[in-house]
Amino acid sequence: MKVNEKNDQLEFVLNVLNHPELLQDEYVREWLSHAENKKLYEECRLYLEAGLKLEVGDSVDVRSEFEKFKRRMTSPTRVLYRWTAAVAVVVILVASGWWLMNEMPSRESGREVIVGMRSAVVPGKNQAVLVTETGREIVLGMSSGMRVMEEGGVDVTDDSTRGVRYSGTEVGEVRYHTLRVPKGGEYRIVLSDGTEVWLNSESELRYPTVFTGERRVVELKGEGYFSVTRDERQPFIVVASGVRTKVYGTEFNVKAYADNKVDVTLVEGKVAVKRASDDSEYALTPGQNAHLEAGAVPLIEKVNVHKYIAWKEGYFYYENERLEVIVNDLKRWYDFDVVYVGSGVKDLRFELWSGRDSDIGVIMGLLTKTNRVSVRLDGRTLIVSERGK
């Protein structure tokens, strides 16, 4: 057995994982003696043993799923994590096929939950509401490249698949708009300077229709991924829950839902974060995340970037994550409520990779198969309890 290029390595690891007897092969043992190869193998093996896996049907077209995922991850800005993420995805898909074949007798478990949630709860979609300075509300996501308004020399056009765009050469009166994305939605906006912002569910962005002055300032509630047009003379500033992220041109993610916790994850370029209550400024380098929480010292560390921005690429992706964190993200996207029974259930940890277009009932049905939690649907409220307690 020989292995050279990265794609060959992927197929090599998958082959070994699915045929453990190959571990006795002299070449395999020599290949695993290298630290980088051993790390790759162990990462894939851990995903195979994950407690929660994606149900994709009785047959798995691994190559097709891998190519589809890889197309989403081929931007030059994804170099930091693209390979590791792709490996994880394919291994989980392979693991799912194996897992389903060996768990067929238990597939009836939780079927009522799955069927009930499929009929009542569906994945989110591109939808948003544009609120003007005068309070006028415009529902977006219904048109195809049509002008929805003109204000102060700025044209606003909307496309249900590409998002809303601000453009115009005249600089008239500066006005402020707010883009609101409800539960069960996501939306993309191109600001007047060309900066692109992807907003996650239950988020909103307040911004000027055109940027003037020395700074470009926007205000975020919820979560947004920013690809900022570079301008050394006019830095771009994102204000979220009292945290200011200052950039000149880069790609990064800001997560700031209503719990006074902010995560800023840098994909490319350089940013500096600062709390309104603190004079200290913290610089990030690509691949770092800054976690800021009221009353605590900021935590800045190297992370798997994909864990923080997978939502923007159309996926849920969690590594050893608390159930409450996972379900909070799911309920924003699928728009349901949740009730936890028992003091410890929120802190149970799971691995999860899933497309955002997956049936929520499948994910919840698989939760019950871990034998760690029980899941019940009451209308649009999910009731989750720790099994045996």
The string of pLDDT tens digits covering residues 134-169 is 999 999 987 777 888 887 778 899 987 889 999 875
pLDDT of residue 289: 96
Here the tokens at position 207 are 């911004």
Q: Is the pLDDT of residue 107 over 50?
A: no
Phi, psi of 297 (to 5 degrees): -70, 135
Q: Is the pLDDT of residue 270 over 50?
A: yes
pLDDT of residue 178: 97
pLDDT of residue 163: 93
Report the percent of the chain where pLDDT is more than 90: 41
pLDDT of residue 52: 35
Of 16-25, 70-79, 338-347, the range with the lowest mean pLDDT is 70-79
Here the tokens at position 177 are 């708009």
pLDDT of residue 119: 58
Instruction: Share the mean pLDDT of the chain.
Output: 78
3-state SS, one letter per residue, for the chain: CCCCCHHHHHHHHHHHHHCHHHHHCHHHHHHHCCHHHHHHHHHHHHHHCCCCCCCCCCCCCHHHHHHHHHHHCCCHHHCCCHHHHHHHHHHHHHHHHHHHHHCHHHCCCCHHHHHHHHHHCCCCEECEEEECCCCCEEEECCCEEEEEEEECCEEEEEECCCEEEEECCCCCCCCEEEEEECCCEEEEEECCCCCEEEECCCEEEEEECCCCCCCEEEEEEEEEEEECCCCCCCCEEEEECCEEEEECCCEEEEEECCCCEEEEEEEECCEEEEECCCCCEEEECCCEEEEEECCCCCEEEECCHHHHHHHHHCEEEEEEEEHHHHHHHHHHHHCCEEEEECCCHHHCEEEEEEECCCCHHHHHHHHHHCCCEEEEEECCEEEEEECCC
pLDDT of residue 239: 96
Stated pTM of the model: 0.73
Q: Is the pLDDT of residue 81 over 50?
A: no
pLDDT of residue 161: 80
State the average pLDDT over residues 105-115.
Answer: 46
**Counting beta carbons within 10 angstroms of the beta carbon of residue 291, is it exposed (0 to 12), middle (13 to 18) or buried (19 or more)?**
middle
Q: Please give the domain boundaries of the chain with CATH numbers for all domains.
A: 6-105 (no CATH), 125-307 (2.60.120.1440), 314-386 (3.55.50.30)
Model confidence at 318, pLDDT cuts 50, 70, 90, reads: confident
Q: Is the pLDDT of residue 213 over 70?
A: yes
State the average pLDDT over residues 39-52.
Answer: 57
Q: Is the pLDDT of residue 250 over 80?
A: yes
